[in-house]
Amino acid sequence: MSTEKNLIKRIIVKIGSSLITGNGQGLDLTALEEWTRQVSEIKQQRCEVILVSSGAVAEGMLRLGWNKRPSMIHDLQAAAAVGQMGLIRAYEDAFQNLGLHTAQILLTHDDLSNRTRYLNARSTLRTLIDMNIVPIVNENDSIATDEIKFGDNDTLAALVANLVEADTLIILTDQDGLFTGDPRASSDVVKVDIAEAGDPLLEKMATSNGSTFGSGGMLTKLRAAKRAARSGTHTVIANGKKTDVLLRILAGENVGTRLKTSKPVMTARKQWLSNHLKVRGSITLDEGAIRAISLNHKSLLPIGVIAVEGDFGRGDVVTCTNKDGDIIAYGLINYNSEETHQIKGMSSERIEKTLGYVEDLELISRDNLALED
């Protein structure tokens, strides 16, 4: 990563549950103080830092005397509510000792799928970093449900990277990076030093097994890197237990696995579209429509739609898929599901005759289409 003078960098640092809680033994205050010290030094290098920290559920489990992560959502909510108190207090104390103020930001997917709240969250984060405050972001597990939870803080960190258009996402874990296989199962595997974010070969190397106290694994980290790449963000997956790991990454040392991106950066609006983890419905496209939107960057017309699923309204986000169900794009649709059913396969000139009115000649405008990677 470049460290030219007078060039401000924006960095997201994600710390996993197994690290911050010492594999469930309670908050590792010594390690937490080390990371905050490094963040303080990074900020002195004219870098902006946002922390995405796991640990609330794990800390709550410890306080409640639970040794196994619960599967019931209300139990997770309760654990998060209890644990978040200790987590944010530990960060606040550590940063105050370094002369830095902190701010707690709790998010759900619903916050980022709603366009107004998405923009509000972005403005809040940008204002905080402009004020030299360290935002500490976590999923709002105390109110999240299966329908709106991110599922893991790797995904949340990538969404935050997109939100603020970060230069680098650093995911700290208890592994030295990505290996060609599971290093816990074989000594013959080797570490991947550098690769392209989104390379499908990487996922074959990863394991999706998370720790007892966390909810993610290496697979979620690779997918987070792919998602972060949409805003031009490079990702580093590294062992948070390594001495001065953040400072060494910033200095360009070969620490962990670097996942670089060379793809064109999506516009902020299209990043928001493509980051919808939950959508209202799906429309299936024929080959002609797929070529039109993918290769020729055209708007989607009703004539290219062969099937409609879901119950969605005008302006909702839907997926555009091929006949096999593979996602081709995400888009803001101009007609509700019932209307789309009626006009699918038709030329735009027949919309008024069929519906009795015309909202738009395009089913989805090209400005409101975000192609899947």
Kindly report, residue by residue over 186-201, the tens digit of the pLDDT.
778 899 999 999 888 8
pLDDT in tens, 78-90: 888 999 999 999 9
- pLDDT of residue 30 exceeding 90, the answer is yes
Q: Are residues 333 and 235 in the same domain?
A: no
Q: How many CB atoms sit inside 10 A of residue 262's CB?
A: 9
Which of 225, 248, 270 is the endpoint of a domain? 270
**What pLDDT does residue 80 have?**
86
- Range in 102-111, 265-274, 279-288 the model is least confident about: 265-274
Taking phi over 0 as left and psi of -120 to 50 as alpha, with beta for the rest, 48 belongs to beta
Q: Are residues 135 and 86 in the same domain?
A: yes
Instruction: Name the 3-class secondary structure at 371.
Output: strand
Rounded CA-CA distance 76/144 in Å is: 9
- pLDDT of residue 57 exceeding 90, the answer is no
**What pLDDT does residue 115 have?**
81
| Torsion of the alpha carbons at 162, 214, 179 and 34, rounded to the nearest 10 | 80
- Range in 149-158, 207-216, 305-314 the model is least confident about: 207-216
Farthest-apart Cα atoms in the chain, separation: 70
Report, in this order, helix, strand and coil percent for the chain, each rounded to 5.
40, 20, 40
Q: Are residues 26 and 165 in the same domain?
A: yes
Which of 210, 240, 270 is the endpoint of a domain? 270
| pLDDT over 70, % of the chain | 92
| pLDDT over 90, % of the chain | 55
CB half-sphere exposure, 100, CA atoms < 13 A: 27
What is the distance, to the nearest Å, from the Cα of residue 113 to the centroid of all Cα atoms in its chain? 12
Q: Are residues 82 and 34 in the same domain?
A: yes
| DSSP code for 300 | B
Report the DSSP beta bridge partners of residue 309.
Answer: 282
Q: Is the pTM of this model over 0.85?
A: no
Rounded CA-CA distance 121/127 in Å is: 10
pLDDT in tens, 245-270: 999 999 999 999 999 988 778 777 78
Instruction: Name the 3-class secondary structure at 180.
Output: coil
Task: Report the CATH number that the domain containing residue 198 is assigned in CATH.
Answer: 3.40.1160.10
- pLDDT of residue 142 exceeding 80, the answer is no
Taking phi over 0 as left and psi of -120 to 50 as alpha, with beta for the rest, 310 belongs to left
Which of 270, 291, 326 is the endpoint of a domain? 270
187 lies in a domain?
A: yes
Rounded CA-CA distance 290/94 in Å is: 52
4 lies in a domain?
A: no
Q: Taking the chain, what is the end-to-end CA distance rounded to the nearest angstrom? A: 24
Cα angle value 156/18/78 (rounded, 5°): 65
Domain limits at 300?
279-371
Q: Are residues 229 and 315 in the same domain?
A: no
Task: Report the CATH number that the domain containing residue 329 is assigned in CATH.
Answer: 2.30.130.10
- pLDDT of residue 4 exceeding 70, the answer is no
Number of domains comprising the chain: 2
**What pLDDT does residue 319 have?**
93
